[in-house]
Amino acid sequence: MADIIRLLPDHVANQIAAGEVVQRPASVVKELLENAIDAQASDIQLIVKDGGKTLIQVVDNGIGMTETDARLSFERHATSKIQKAEDLFNLHTKGFRGEALASIAAISHVEMMTRTQDDEVGTHIKIEGSKIVGQEVAVVPKGTSMLVKNLFFNIPARRNFLKSDQVEFRHITDEFHRVALAHPQISFSFYNNGSDVFNLPNNDFKKRIVQVFGRKTNEKLVPINEETNVVKISGYIQKPEFAKKSRGEQFFFANNRFIKSPYLHHAVLGAFEGLIKSGTHPGYFIRLDVDPSTIDINIHPTKTEVKFDDEHTLYAYLKSTIKHSLGQFNVVPSLDFEKDQNLETPYDFKNRSAAVPGITVDSDFNPFKQSGSSRASGFTKTSARGWENIYQGLDRKVPSSGSGIMEMESEEINSTIFDSDIETQDTVTTTFQLRKKYIVSTIKSGMLIINQSRAHQRVLYEGFLKNITIQEAVSQQLLFPLTLNFTKSELAILKEIKESLCAVGFVFGEMTNETVEVKGVPVVVTESEVQMVMEQLISDFQMEVSEDSFSQVDMLAKTLSKTLSVKTGEVLDELSQISLVNKLFACKESTLSPFNKRTYTTITENDIDRKFI
C-alpha cells in the first residue's frame, strides 16, 4: 500500500490555523490591538471600513520593529514573548503563540509599516495570501502601522458566512471596549467609515468606564476593593436598581486581560441575589490580579477562556467582596439590633419619667356668639349646642321627587384589557381561568385549553407585523417626552431599527450620542414600559443579530409581543378571556406562538370517557 500521509503546504497550514484564530473581522482587531499594547504603545488608533471587511488598520507609537523582525513576524510560531515552555506560566503579555500575524496574512492582503526609534528609516512590507509581494525601505514614523484589506479574499466560503456591516461593526466595537477598558492608561481612537466613534484619552479606570458608556454611568457605579494573598480584586459594580434585561455591561479582567468565566459570573449573581428582579442582569467591571503561575490562559486560541488553580477560593472572595461593598455604600438596607437605645436619650432626660399632657376643653365656647357687630346689624346668633343633630337621619335613603329611590353614583371599574368583540352575552361560550395560566372553554367535541401568554403573543405578533407592513400603526403622544440614556453601541442598534419602531407606533425626537427622546408610543405600550421594551429590544438584537430587513422586522415583532403579552399569574376577567379566544382564532396561524410553541390543546369527550373506564 502506498504512503498516504504527507506534510501540508505552509499556505494550507496557515489557512487552517487562521480558522482557529480569525473567525471574523473583530478577531483581527483584537490581535492587532493586543500586539500594539505589547509594543508598549501609549497611543493607538483603530480604523475600519465596511465592518472590517474592506479595511482594518491599527496604528501605534510603540517600539516598532527592525527589518529582520518585521519579516520574521509573519512566520508561524515566531514570537518575542516566550523562549521556553516554562514561560507559558509566567506571562505578562497579550500574544505569545506567534500565530496571529501568520494567520491573518494567510487570508488577506496585509501591509506593515514599522520603524524603531534608533533607525532613521523604516520598513514597508506587502503580503497577499502568505506570499510576500513587496518589501522596501520607507520613511515612516516611529511605531507600527498594520493594514489588513479584503479579509477572506481567498476563502469565499468563509467570507459568505460574515454578517452585515452593521453586525460586524458591533462585534468590533465590543472588542474595542474590552481592550480599552483593560488599559485605561493608553489613549485610544476609533474611526468607522471616516467618522469618529471614540476618542479616549488616557485616564483612570472609572473615568475610562464613563468615557466608554456615557456620563450617566458615573452615578451607577459602586467601587469594590479587596486584597488577599490569593487575589487582588478591584473595580466597580453597578447598583441593583440599574440592572438590565441585557448582559452588555459585564466585564472580567484577569491580569489586564479580558476573560469569560461563567463560574465567576455565578458568584456575582449570588452576591446580588434578592436585590435584583428575576430576568435582569447586574453590570460590573471587575479586575482580578493573580500570580501568573496560578492561571492558565493557553486553553483556547482566543485566550478569553482561562483556568484558575483555586477557583473555589476565588469564588468565595469575589462574592463576599461584592456583598461587602453593597452594604458599605448603603446600597442594601440594614438593621442594627445591637444598638444601645440609651445612647439616643439626652443626658438631662435620662432619669425623668414621661409626663402626661393635660387637655382643657371649654364646653361653652361658641364661635357664633353674639358680638358687637352682629348686635349693630340686628342679627342674633343662636347657641351652637346640639350641632351634631343636623347629621342625624342621613344614613337613611331619602325618596326623590320621582317614584324611585336616590342612590349614590359609584365609579365604574372596568378591568377588561382586551376590546370585546361580543355583541350579546347570550352567544358567548362560557370560559374560566385555570391556575392564572390557562383559559378553558367548551367546544362541541369536548374542551379547549389555551395558554394565555402564548395566545396573546400570537395576537400581538400578527398585529405588529401588519402595522409594520402597511405602516398605519396608531401612536399615542406623550404629554411629557421621555429621555432615555443608552451607550453608543446600544444607540447604534436603536438607529438600525428606528424605521421599524416608527412603523409600529414609536415617535422619536432628538437623538444625541447618549440619549434618545421618545415623544410617542404604541397604544399597547404604557409610559412605564418604554424603558423595559427598549432594553429588551437591544438585548434581543445583540443576541440574535439580523442580516436583512425581513428578519429585523420579524425579530422586532417577536420581542414586542413577548414583552407586552399577558404573563402567567395575571388574572383576566371573563370578557378579556372571551376576547382573547376570539382574536386567537382570527389569526392566520393560531396553533403556534411566534416562538413555535403550542398555544392551545383540545381534550375530546372520548378522552374524558377513557379516564372513567
Distance from C-alpha of 543 to C-alpha of 547, rounded to nearest angstrom: 13
Bridge partners of 429, per DSSP, are none
Over 80: is that where the pLDDT of 327 sits?
A: yes
pLDDT of res. 421 = 45
Distance from C-alpha of 333 to C-alpha of 541, rounded to nearest angstrom: 36
Which whole number is the average pLDDT over 563-578?
A: 89
Over 60: is that where the pLDDT of 413 sits?
A: no
pLDDT-derived band of residue 437, with 50, 70 and 90 as boundaries? very high
Which whole number is the average pLDDT over 256-268?
A: 91
| CB contact at 8 A, 178 and 32 | no
pLDDT of res. 454 = 94
Ranges of each domain in the chain? 10-200, 205-328, 431-601
pLDDT of res. 278 = 82
| CB contact at 8 A, 222 and 232 | no
Q: What is the pLDDT of residues 339-373, one digit of tens each?
A: 555 555 565 666 677 677 777 777 777 766 665 55
pLDDT-derived band of residue 403, with 50, 70 and 90 as boundaries? very low
Over 80: is that where the pLDDT of 87 sits?
A: no
Over 70: is that where the pLDDT of 470 sits?
A: yes
pLDDT-derived band of residue 162, with 50, 70 and 90 as boundaries? confident
Q: What is the CATH code for 10-200?
A: 3.30.565.10
pLDDT-derived band of residue 401, with 50, 70 and 90 as boundaries? very low
pLDDT of res. 423 = 40
Distance from C-alpha of 192 to C-alpha of 200, rounded to nearest angstrom: 15
pLDDT of res. 155 = 84
Over 80: is that where the pLDDT of 142 sits?
A: yes
The domain defined by 205-328 folds into Ribosomal Protein S5; domain 2 (3.30.230)
pLDDT of res. 405 = 45
pLDDT-derived band of residue 600, with 50, 70 and 90 as boundaries? very high
**Would strands 438-443 and 446-451 be described as parallel, antiparallel, or unpaired?**
antiparallel
Q: What are phi and psi of 532, to 5 degrees?
A: -65, -40
Residue that wins the pLDDT comparison between 607 and 425: 607
Q: Return mean pLDDT, the chain.
A: 81
pLDDT of res. 409 = 47
Question: Which CATH number fits the domain 431-601, given the four candidates 3.40.50.300, 3.30.1370.100, 3.20.190.10, 1.10.287.610?
Answer: 3.30.1370.100
Distance from C-alpha of 308 to C-alpha of 287, rounded to nearest angstrom: 14
**Would strands 507-511 and 515-522 be described as parallel, antiparallel, or unpaired?**
antiparallel
Q: What is the pLDDT of residues 267-318, one digit of tens each?
A: 999 999 888 888 788 999 999 999 888 887 765 556 677 888 888 999 999 9
pLDDT of res. 459 = 93
User: What's the chain's Rg over C-alpha atoms?
Assistant: 35
From first CA to last CA, the distance across the chain in angstroms is 71
pLDDT-derived band of residue 95, with 50, 70 and 90 as boundaries? low
pLDDT-derived band of residue 504, with 50, 70 and 90 as boundaries? confident
Which whole number is the average pLDDT over 565-588?
A: 90
Residue that wins the pLDDT comparison between 435 and 304: 435
Residue that wins the pLDDT comparison between 351 and 174: 174
pLDDT of res. 60 = 95
pLDDT of res. 19 = 63
